[in-house]
A and B are shown apart, each in its own frame.
Chain A
Amino acid sequence: MVLDLSVFVQVILLGGIYSLISIALNLQYSLTRTMNVAYGEFMMINAYITFWLFTLYSLNPLLSILATGTLSFALGLLIYALVLRRLLRVYKVLERFEERSLLAAFGFLYILQSIATILWPGPPKNYLYMNYGISFLTTTIQANRLVVFIFATLASLLFLLFLKGTLTGKAMRAMMSNQRGAMLLGIRFTKLYALAFALGLMMAGIAGSLVSMLFAISSTMGTPFTTFAFIVMVLGGLGNVLGSLIAAFIIAGIYVPTAYLFNPGIGSLILYVFFALILVIRPQGLLRG
């Protein structure tokens, strides 16, 4: 087999969904100092919700984004109110808080996986939506992949515009680059903190709905997404949202051709080796310094 246009197209399409996930995870970490290892599990729950809405009520998966996005946003606020606010109060030193919030996220990983397995036992689920090809130059593109790409990119761009254009977004970026300085300028920490965490989960909701159109849905589908997003985040630089956007396409550019030439397992192996190399050569990420 040769690498042709179709592989290039797949790189772009997959890069779109990776960038959405990585941007959200990066924002969540750099603003709330919570390394959300349960991110893929939050996606998984929303993928299930989308699946059931489609199967039971034949609701268009693209419309269920509204439901999963809103629901996840609310869930984010709830987790802030019940868990993170308390953790912030108990562990005042930043390093201690980072350790504990990460462990709390690890707890959520297991809670969500267990809930999914209890509620929806049995084999992985999937459904067919827009499952036809569109011819494009010399290749065909799966319509659902294209739509997922368009929606993921739209969500990412809207989010970047929010960060660049609105006052709240600017305050968030100020908090990302210098928390104490931002607070001295009168930016309200708690409000932005809750908002950033909830926005991060909202993106997980959207991403979950989108990936449910492409991949088999199971309780363990989440962790690979989280690790891929971690690799993208480190490559793009922790705290650098634009870096994540670019790095997502680089990662897809490494994964897709190797997965295509050999198999998906070897593709992700090469990705992990690449991850180790980044940590040796450029741990601060591509775009910084």
Chain B
Amino acid sequence: MMFKKIILPIVLIFLMLALIPFSLPAYYMMFLTTLFMYIILTVSWNIFSGYTGYISLAHSALFGIGGFISVFTTSFLPLPLPFILGGATSAFIGFLVGLLTLRLKGLYFTIFSFAISLLAYNFFSFIVFGRARTAGVYIKVLPDTLIYYSLLAVLLIIIVISIWLIRSRYGEAIMAIGQDELKAETIGINATFWKVMIFVLSSIFVGLTGAISAQRYLYIDPQTAFNLRTTFEPITMAIVGGTGTFLGPIIGAILLTIIEELLAVRVPYYYFLLLGILLLVFLLFLKEGIIGILQSVRFPRKRPQSNTSGT
């Protein structure tokens, strides 16, 4: 049952994706690389914020930090190490932020996670690069296939981990915190501990993705590395797809990455305008996301039944 429904499809999909660089033109590989990046960022946002309900706005900080660490260390470290170091640094920052703010209930975490992006930007532009605001680093770009396979590997890991998480008792603990933190604590769940752990887990993937993605482009500077869009896009993708579910964020990321591919180069600001409007529309009218629409089409009569039979 589990093999047929979960493991087999995943193995097949990833095998197919692994063959893409050999079979399709380079354009598709580039597109899929971007898609993998967005799926990882969206799923990593969802495993923390989607399940616990604590809204994290720290993605752009963690992404940029991972990117800079990997760019700084590639000259003297062999290859997977800069990526891992980038992920580890972001995890450490995530740990500090979580420790500092997740013991407090309410919006302190969100406020601080918003500030940390600007803090990281200021730190890199004024301490690392001195006063000049436009300073950055030139990068010896890595081969596209290497980036593709690295992100594919990270994607596989995060998908396996998030499936395992949902089905494990740890996942249940986290969802319990998201539904009612006080009750979860009453039945003996150490809420602060689990919130920090999951936030660190999420941060590792954001850092890793930043570390790998930074090596795609010729040049990196604080302005692009810490752009708030790295926070905004995954959140919108998760909300559009449906938060707190496994498939929802993936569907949202795929759909919006296609829209981005069509719009972002030609009319970037219309793309962001559209994203903002989509975010509002889904928050207001389609709170279950696309996954909710799909489910209500597939099981139209199930809802009222489950309401009445709930114990």
Contact = CB atoms under 8 A, between A and B. Distances in A.
Contact of A224 (B118, B126, B239, B276): B118
Interface string A83-107: 1001100110001101110111011
B273 A111 contact: yes
A196 interface: no
A261 to B, nearest CB: 13
Interface residues of A, number: 47
A100 B286 CA distance: 12
A268 B276 CA distance: 28
Contacts of A86: 284-285
Interface of A (DSSP majority class): helix
B16 interface: no
A113 interface: yes
B118 A268 contact: yes
Interface stretch (A144-152, A169-177, A185-193, A271-279): A271-279
Contacts of A87: 283-284
A90 to B, nearest CB: 6
Given A95-B53, A280-B100, A114 B108 contact: no
B174 to A, nearest CB: 15
A83 B280 contact: yes
- Find the residue from A98, A99, A115, A118 having the highest chain B CB count within 10 A: A99
B118 A118 contact: no
Contact of A37 (B101, B104, B114): B114
Interface in B274-301: 275-277, 279-280, 283-285, 287
Contacts of A268: 118-119, 122
Given A110-B232, A265-B131, A279-B108, A223 B283 contact: no
- Find the residue from A106, A263, A276 having the highest chain B CB count within 10 A: A106
A99 B53 contact: yes
A231 interface: yes
B155 interface: no
A114 B118 contact: no
A35 interface: yes
A115 B274 CA distance: 11
Contacts, number: 121
Contacts of A118: 269-270, 273
A142 interface: no
A186 B178 CA distance: 33
Given A96-B53, A107-B280, A102 B273 contact: no
B123 interface: yes
A227 interface: yes
Contacts of B111: 35, 230, 233-234
Contact of B287 (A90, A102, A109): A90
A111 B100 contact: no
B230 to A, nearest CB: 13
Interface string A255-270: 0000000010110110
A103 B115 contact: no
B41 interface: no
A223 B231 CA distance: 14
A177 B129 CA distance: 46
Contacts of A265: 122, 125-127, 131
Contact of B275 (A91, A104, A110, A283): A110
Contact of B126 (A35, A95, A115, A263): A263
- Find the residue from A37, A117, A234, A276 having the highest chain B CB count within 10 A: A276
Interface of B: 53, 55, 57, 100-101, 104, 106-108, 110-112, 114-116, 118-119, 122-123, 125-127, 131, 228, 232, 235-236, 239, 269-270, 272-273, 275-277, 279-280, 283-285, 287
Given A100-B283, A103-B279, 4 more contacts: A107-B277, A110-B272, A227-B115, A272-B116
